[in-house]
Structure 1
Amino acid sequence: MSCQLPALLPDYDLNDSEAGMKILEELTQNVHQIQQLVLEEIITRNAHTEYLKGFLNGQCDMQGFKNKVPVVNYEDIKPYIERIANGDSSNIISAEPIIELLTSSGTSGGQPKMMPSTAEDLHRKTFFYNLLVPVMNKYVDGLDEGKALYLLFVKPETKTPSGLMARPVLTSYYKSSNFKNRPFDRFNVYTSPDETILCSDSKQSMYCQLLCGLVQRQDVLRVGAVFASAFLRAIKFLEDNWKELCSNIRAGCVSDWITDPSCRNVVSLILSDPNPELADLIEHECSSESWEGIIKKLWPRTKYIEVIVTGSMAQYVSTLEFYSGGLPLVSTMYASSECYFGINLKPLSKPSYVSYSLIPNMAYFEFLPVNKNHEDGIRDVQCNGVCKENCSDHVETVDLVDVKLGQYYELVVTTFTGLYRYRVGDILMVTGFHNKAPQFRFVHRRNVVLSIDTDKTNEEDLLKAVTKAKVIVESLGFLLIEYTSYADTSSIPGHYVIFWELTSKGSNHLPVLDTKLMEQCCSVVEASLDSVYRRCRRKDNSIGPLEIRVVQHGTFDALMDFCVSQGSSVNQYKTPRCIKSGEAINILDSRVVGRFFSQNAPPWEPV
């Protein structure tokens, strides 16, 4: 491919799956050559940017790049991105104009990180999406004989002082001409009209997309959303609104509260005529005592459910399986705001076996070895919620073709959009190879302890929030002895639970708890978390009210005994700030003496 591929983004007929698979085979067979071409192209283009010139002095030497350009975190590049956001020239970091800033779900100083994006980057994402088509056609027959019920949504966006839009990566893609003018091949036919996807009112958008999906139920061959949490939120919305949806279908007209004119017009065209037979059928299924297998009952031709079920989304697998009726859960891709990384070349794999093959023309990939014993790591994840890897700043990076089977690495990327040797923060494990392309299992996000939706709360953020809240009880003579947390996804939407062990100053007696006071503590914790959490909680309604569970005296001693029994060291034990183990959660829950919830969603404002 290195001598036959004139461009790093080759074209092919999207309806020709064989041609698409051939490109994938060439990409995964010629990994080293393509990675060298990618790095050479990025350096040659950008050697005279302010950022790279400071290290390379205008030279385009690839070895010099790896020797002189440092591996960085977001805080290292944040000043450059903020300068562009405030009106400075793109060529600080990129020879290509930065056309927008993509807000990530990771945070910095309480605000989402902003990643640069160029016009070419949209074409690279489109190429990546198109590669998913031949893979799915290889494993699932007949996808050209119907439609996809994909629940897709846009998120809030804002303008920076320079006039650049700052918005989530998927919002950027859905609003782009690449999405709006996509070729309507057999893989791009959705039950949701674009107008419903692009509706800024999330409730109207959800209602209209579900209504369109129900009316076209016999055409639906696959259902899904980007994240498992979003799909389950749609199921909960359906549980709450199926009677009204049936009423609309029976009458052949949409509810008056759907006021977005574009949504109303396009949905009215799909609804068109009264359909009492369909309304009766849906009502029969939805009024059942149990919703087990509801997806297959409502959309009987569905072949699979497409949602991301790796990383923090793995906590939703059992709930998805309950609703699915035995349908496969398909996790097709691995991507982030920084870059689109890899594709699952075995999409029908069980969620726990999902691995992604990094596509070598997306970016230049390096890896920081993570010093972690596999067995110890599993115990850490279960007990502490986050592994304490040792990624030394002085350790040399490993190239994509040189990673070792079974080893753990942190991903480092150099992109076409102005990120150079950037630590993504994802911990991956090498599970195998497809041709010469390594396959990786996503292990977890570095330092993240709590996540329900797109929120990512780390240990430091949680500590700051708890510290502000405990001032309230300390002012009344109480002490917070210990705390820990977990993400409770047993209900939809899920919510944060924080366990507190309190005592009165000078004694071991549990204080008498005032409900209003403890609810205030819950609200203070929520208001102290970052803007992504607050947006999910207030505007998206994808996170439920935060809960504080007060436990009896001695509970955290019992937790320590359990963790030690599971292999933790007595000498090195410290209280885990997040609990993953069901047994550990049961120990805490069995000693709860009071449960309190935040009564008001925290204030939210755009980035």
Structure 2
Amino acid sequence: MPEAPSALSNEGTVLENNDKALKFIEDVTINADEVQKRVLSKILSRSADTEYLRRSGLNGCTDRGTFKKVMPVVTYEDLKPDIERIANGDTSQILCSHPISEFLTNSGTSAGERKLMPTIDEELERRSLLYSLLMPVISQFVPGLDKGKGMYFLFVKSEAKTTVVRVGAVFASGFIRAIHFLEKNWGILCNDIRTGTIDSKITDPSVREAVSRILKLNPKLADFVEAECSNGSWKGIITRLWPNTKYIDVIVTGTMSQYIPALDYYSNSLPLVCTMYASSECYFGINLDPLCKPSEVSYTLIPTMAYFEFLPVTREKELTSSISEPTALNDEEKQQLVDLVDVEMGQDYELAVTTYAGLYRYRVGDILRVSGFKNNAPQFNFICRKNVVLSIDSDKTDEAELQNAVKNATNQLGQFEASLVEYTSYADTSATPGHYVLYWELSIKDVNLIPSSVFENCCFTVEESLDSVYRQGRVSDKSIGPLEIRVVENGTFDMLMDFALTQGASINQYKTPRCVKYAPIILLLNSRVVSSYFSDGAPVTRNGALKIERVEH
């Protein structure tokens, strides 16, 4: 297996270390299949005596053929009893031969459940390796990154006096949340910097202690920040406060693309760089063309990170599948999975991983599309999360389709200097027929400045953007009622995030759920509704095709 560059080494010049990292990428992508075979063999051999592998009947075999024949393709629900045993203190070798050092929580499901993903100590080294590949790749496109530092809004770190050359967060939503927080509280920040003291509103002892270690009286800096933040417009605030910033490092793929206009506004259209594809289950790969357009982001999976398999996905299969979380596959379905080097250009796949930390043929739930190849390693566009959908009857609206429909509708808000801050959805079946409900939080001084007819037309546009199965349910079967938009108070989605954190979510991994089912979340959202609107259109059938017709008032 190609030797990995030391992720934490300070030896050699920046140029030499960059060359080593780029050579490593070249080697593992050329020998992708051989590397994958070795990764699988290593994982299976060292965990051969675990309860899970013995229970599955692998009997110590480490070859790919036996693994594919014997091992089931599973979901979180299949592993949940074993994971709960470990979480409750069972130290026996259940999933992995190495001790489980911690659990990582994902951003949660629409039902409000937090999934616990096992990890081991050595996984930190493997993830550090992937991080060590990022700067060598980006430095090919953006010079001078070694001359300054990055500032990331992780809600746990602070930057003292230094040259900031890049800013970022894990997700675009978190980055925008941080900017909005600064927009509301810059006055307190300036006062703290000017006086060298911490405002009494900051009550958490650990936060006060951490800030006190770096906070120094600096009236000049306070005056600078105050001048930039108080001049009325926050357009370009990032480049005004941190003028050496070269790009924003943040995920803007999938539904995160809705934040691109806001990012462009606050940054004066700095490049938006999606560097890495990762999850709580595993770190997968990197973007080798970091300055590409957000719509063209493609990730190269690094073959050393885990053993990867891919289940072919078609739109027809998605429409006929269950709207529940992914389920374990039967024997016939298992045979459809293909290896990393066997995926086909343009085909959509659902990703399954076998990790060093004890996940075997685990369905991650991400839908990826093959966009190209780096040597023998495929590159993928992230399409959406699987089965994040709305459904009333036979209709099934997935995350990508919903995002596109919302984007089409919110284009009408620009003329009122309004924009969508955040949204989620809910399939309301409390009455018959049931209907889709969208919760929208808007950026606007007074929502009453927008006529009701505009919101009704937004409902209409969303419905017009959905597929024929939905529209047939609206007109022919009458099994779906008119779509509803409920506008909520400002700060509602901050409250939703805060609620998720009380339930154990990680603040840096949190993403707003695009579909909600958990009763306390729905109760919170409904308690914040300031107005609601229904679609003023109805689908009709003409010449054998479904079409939306407006109902004028």
What TM-score results when the alignment is normalised by the length of structure 2? 0.72
TM superposition shift of 1:284: 2.4
1:141-220 to 2 correspondences below 5 Å: 141-153=143-155, 196-197=156-157, 209=158, 212=159, 216=161, 219-220=163-164
TM superposition shift of 1:538: 13
- Letter of the 1:429 counterpart: R
**CA distance in 1: counterparts of 2:72 and 2:325, whole angstroms:** 23
Assess, with a 3 A threshold, how the Cα gap between structure 1 residues 282 and 86 changes in structure 2: closer, same or farther: closer
Assess, with a 3 A threshold, how the Cα gap between structure 1 residues 12 and 559 changes in structure 2: closer, same or farther: farther
TM superposition shift of 1:84: 1.8
2:358 matches 1:418: yes
2:376 matches 1:440: no
Assess, with a 3 A threshold, how the Cα gap between structure 1 residues 301 and 417 changes in structure 2: closer, same or farther: same
SS in 2 for 1:255: coil
2:257 matches 1:314: yes
TM superposition shift of 1:401: 0.3
**CA distance in 2: counterparts of 1:336 and 1:112, whole angstroms:** 14
Assess, with a 3 A threshold, how the Cα gap between structure 1 residues 538 and 482 changes in structure 2: closer, same or farther: farther
SS in 2 for 1:411: strand
TM superposition shift of 1:246: 1.9
Equivalent in the alignment of 1:359: 302
Equivalent in the alignment of 2:436: 484
Q: Provide Cα deviations, 1:255-307, integer angstroms capped at 9, x if missing partner.
A: 233344554355345432332x3333322222233211111111111101111
Assess, with a 3 A threshold, how the Cα gap between structure 1 residues 301 and 489 changes in structure 2: closer, same or farther: farther
CA contact (8 A) 2:106 2:505 kept: no
CA contact (8 A) 1:13 1:19 kept: no
- Letter of the 2:107 counterpart: S
Assess, with a 3 A threshold, how the Cα gap between structure 1 residues 411 and 538 changes in structure 2: closer, same or farther: closer
SS in 2 for 1:306: strand
SS in 1 for 2:93: helix
2:40 matches 1:39: yes
Assess, with a 3 A threshold, how the Cα gap between structure 1 residues 296 and 441 changes in structure 2: closer, same or farther: same
Equivalent in the alignment of 2:51: 50
CA contact (8 A) 1:406 1:431 kept: yes
Equivalent in the alignment of 1:288: 231
Equivalent in the alignment of 2:128: 126
SS in 2 for 1:91: coil
CA contact (8 A) 2:114 2:504 kept: no
Equivalent in the alignment of 2:177: 233
**CA distance in 2: counterparts of 1:417 and 1:568, whole angstroms:** 54
- Letter of the 1:127 counterpart: L
**CA distance in 1: counterparts of 2:246 and 2:299, whole angstroms:** 21
- Letter of the 1:78 counterpart: K
CA contact (8 A) 1:409 1:428 kept: yes
SS in 2 for 1:53: helix
**CA distance in 2: counterparts of 1:222 and 1:321, whole angstroms:** 15
CA contact (8 A) 1:344 1:354 kept: yes
Match of 1:77 among 69, 76, 79: 79
Match of 1:333 among 276, 294, 319: 276
- Letter of the 2:96 counterpart: S
TM superposition shift of 1:368: 0.2
2:333 matches 1:372: no
Root-mean-square deviation over aligned CA pairs = 4.4
Assess, with a 3 A threshold, how the Cα gap between structure 1 residues 279 and 365 changes in structure 2: closer, same or farther: same
SS in 1 for 2:108: strand
**CA distance in 2: counterparts of 1:261 and 1:36, whole angstroms:** 50
**CA distance in 1: counterparts of 2:82 and 2:544, whole angstroms:** 43
CA contact (8 A) 2:326 2:363 kept: no
CA contact (8 A) 1:105 1:456 kept: no
TM superposition shift of 1:85: 2.0
**CA distance in 1: counterparts of 2:186 and 2:291, whole angstroms:** 30
CA contact (8 A) 2:345 2:370 kept: yes
SS in 2 for 1:323: helix
TM superposition shift of 1:57: 2.7
**CA distance in 1: counterparts of 2:86 and 2:355, whole angstroms:** 17
What TM-score results when the alignment is normalised by the length of structure 1? 0.66
CA contact (8 A) 2:172 2:259 kept: yes
CA contact (8 A) 2:72 2:328 kept: no
- Letter of the 2:65 counterpart: Q
CA contact (8 A) 1:111 1:532 kept: no
CA contact (8 A) 1:357 1:439 kept: yes
- Letter of the 1:62 counterpart: R
Equivalent in the alignment of 2:197: 253
- Letter of the 2:167 counterpart: V
**CA distance in 2: counterparts of 1:285 and 1:8, whole angstroms:** 42
CA contact (8 A) 1:332 1:347 kept: yes
TM superposition shift of 1:404: 0.8
**CA distance in 2: counterparts of 1:530 and 1:145, whole angstroms:** 37
Tell me whether 292-301 or 55-64 shows the greater mean CA deviation. Answer: 55-64
**CA distance in 2: counterparts of 1:52 and 1:530, whole angstroms:** 39
CA contact (8 A) 2:51 2:95 kept: yes
**Unaligned runs of at least 5 residues, structure 2:** 391-398, 404-421, 445-455, 464-480, 513-520
Structure with bigger RCO (C-alpha 8 Å, 6+ apart): 2
**Unaligned runs of at least 5 residues, structure 1:** 154-195, 198-208, 381-385, 471-478, 502-509, 574-582, 592-607
SS in 2 for 1:107: coil
TM superposition shift of 1:251: 2.6
**CA distance in 2: counterparts of 1:392 and 1:456, whole angstroms:** 33
CA contact (8 A) 2:118 2:358 kept: yes
**CA distance in 1: counterparts of 2:62 and 2:506, whole angstroms:** 48
SS in 1 for 2:68: helix
Assess, with a 3 A threshold, how the Cα gap between structure 1 residues 64 and 302 changes in structure 2: closer, same or farther: same
**CA distance in 2: counterparts of 1:79 and 1:347, whole angstroms:** 40
TM superposition shift of 1:88: 2.8
CA contact (8 A) 1:368 1:397 kept: yes
- Letter of the 1:310 counterpart: T
Match of 2:244 among 301, 317, 325: 301
2:345 matches 1:405: yes
2:350 matches 1:349: no
Equivalent in the alignment of 1:427: 367
**CA distance in 2: counterparts of 1:47 and 1:8, whole angstroms:** 28
Aligned residues: 459
CA contact (8 A) 1:107 1:530 kept: no
- Letter of the 2:230 counterpart: S
- Letter of the 1:58 counterpart: G
